[in-house]
Structure 1
Amino acid sequence: MNKKHKYFLPAMAFVVLLGLQIGATNAFGQAPGPGQRPPGQGPGGPGGFGRGPSLPPIPIAGDTTHSLSIHFTPATAIKKAPDAKGFIQRWLVLEPVKKNLRSNSTITESYLKTTFAVDNFSQDYSAVPKNGQTVKIGDQDLKWYALDSKSFNFNLYHFSYATNKARAGVLFWLVTVINCPEEIKNVRIAAGVNSGGAFWLNGQEALMIPGDKDIIVDNVASPLLTLKKGRNVIRVAVINGQGMCNFCVRFIDEKGAPVKNYSISYE
């Protein structure tokens, strides 16, 4: 090998090594993209333990305008049937009540009962508010919306985002009206709730769901109930500390089949 090539090869190796170092510096120096964690950081911070640094909130994909129309449609005066699998999609939903709640671990049954007694728009659990009505809970003025969910579940996180309200440390109230042409006996309220909450039928508590649960269809079910002929009122409360928040609910019969022979309205 001549002297020219002898000195050229080490020089080439140095250039390649320098290029790799610069590339690595740039890669690790970039901020993480949407939904990514910084390099080497686990779910709870470096190494996956403890509390990591606070990252800026990431908008819901495809919705930067805080629009209700992406996940909901305004309810109309025309009565609505449950969906093909019996899920109730039409609800009056109140803007979220802000709570000093930083964790879902405190959502015990006693906490729920105390919260529902204090931060309540009405102690009459058969009351049906008006669409667009504003009510005062504590020092908060909150508005009711009559909405149909585009999905089988009602996503409260999406509702809060669309209305530009708090999405963590919040309590939601919802009401709907079930219209039965005939009495329907031996049915159960079957629900899935992402977080904790409760369901009432015609003023009587049917389900209390403490703790922090994932939303699973028919995850919990009430004792056997009767839907009376005519108007029946369902009230729902869902409370969330952190994370996503939504629920799904339907009536099932004694064999677990969906009950669908009724209509739904918001008044």
Structure 2
Amino acid sequence: MYNFFNKIVRLFCLCVFLFGHSSADAQNKELPADINPYFGPVGKQAVMPNAAGFIQRWLLLEPISMPVKSNVVFTDSYLKEIFHTQYFPKQMETVPKDGAIVKVGKEKLKWHALDSKLFNVKLFRFATSFKKPKYGVLFWAVTIIDCPEEMKDVRLSVGSNGASMWWLNGEEAVMLEGDRRMVRDDVVSKKLTLKKGRNILRGAVINGPGMSDFCVRFIDGQGKPVRNLSIHVK
């Protein structure tokens, strides 16, 4: 009886092991090969920002097609209209799930949970890897930031190619206007407060022709990166 019970336990453990590995393999296989130099699948555990404070874990929405042939149209008034337009239901209210589908006009677009392998998030490579439009597009990005305690007087430091807008907990934090290249710490927000516990950071990046990417981190009053944060997408 004891031997029989041991066999059952070993069989159960083997099934769990194989199922866990097959699930991980399936997750890896879902990502196109072209994306490998730039992104990897999201792990189960939350992560910290990298050594320089940059946030690398994101939910990215497949690009929304926009009638933009040149970045010279990126005036403040144009960008504010674009960034404040609602493209899909509960756009600023909920955190999307990995694999969720939203309808934007006639397009059905999917959310992808990804870990950037670089300090900057390569939106152009994200689009091309999934065979999506890469020019004249609007990208949406969302991540969750858990703080061990309230952090006052931090600033959101952003670089993007091209223009972008960023919201912290539903409030506009910073806008990067005009036709620009991605430069780290290009624009820094006013003083912000990260709440103890869950904070939601959202961004929208629009670009016409050319490459698209962004980099984001929080800095303290001395301009040093804030790293004692827990980043996840669930």
Evaluate the alpha carbon distance shift between residue 181 and residue 262 of structure 1 in structure 2; reply closer, same or farther with a 3 A threshold: same
Deviation at 1:123, TM superposition (A): 4.9
Aligned to 1:37: none
Which structure is larger by alpha-carbon Rg, 1 or 2?
Answer: 1
C-alpha distance in 1, partners of 2:207/2:220? 29
Matched, 1:261 2:228: yes
Instruction: Give the stretch that moved more between structures: 195-204 or 69-78.
Output: 69-78
Residue aligned with 2:68, SS: coil
Q: Are the aligned partners of 1:126 and 1:233 in contact in 2 as well (CA < 8 Å)? A: no
TM, length-normalised to structure 1: 0.73
Stretches of structure 2 that go unaligned for 5 or more consecutive residues are: 1-31
Matched, 1:136 2:115: no
**Count of aligned pairs between the two proteins:** 203
C-alpha distance in 2, partners of 1:104/1:191? 19
The one of 34, 55, 64 aligned to 1:67: 34
Q: Are the aligned partners of 2:83 and 2:165 in contact in 1 as well (CA < 8 Å)? A: no
The one of 160, 168, 180 aligned to 1:201: 168
Name the amino acid aligned to 2:163.
Answer: G
C-alpha distance in 2, partners of 1:220/1:99? 24
Equivalent positions of 1:155-194 (< 5 A) are 155-194=122-161
Structure 1 runs of 4+ aligned residues shifted over 6 Å read none
Aligned to 1:79: 46
Identity of aligned residues (%): 50
Equivalent positions of 1:141-156 (< 5 A) are 141-156=108-123
Aligned to 1:31: none
Name the amino acid aligned to 1:223.
Answer: K
Deviation at 1:113, TM superposition (A): 2.1
TM, length-normalised to structure 2: 0.84
RMSD, aligned α-carbons: 1.3
Deviation at 1:254, TM superposition (A): 1.2
Alpha-carbon displacement from aligned partner over 1:125-148 (angstroms, at most 9, x marks no partner): 242001000000111100000000
Name the amino acid aligned to 2:202.
Answer: R
Name the amino acid aligned to 1:254.
Answer: G
The one of 68, 71, 89 aligned to 1:101: 68
C-alpha distance in 1, partners of 2:196/2:232? 15
Aligned to 1:236: 203
Name the amino acid aligned to 2:198.
Answer: R
Stretches of structure 1 that go unaligned for 5 or more consecutive residues are: 1-64
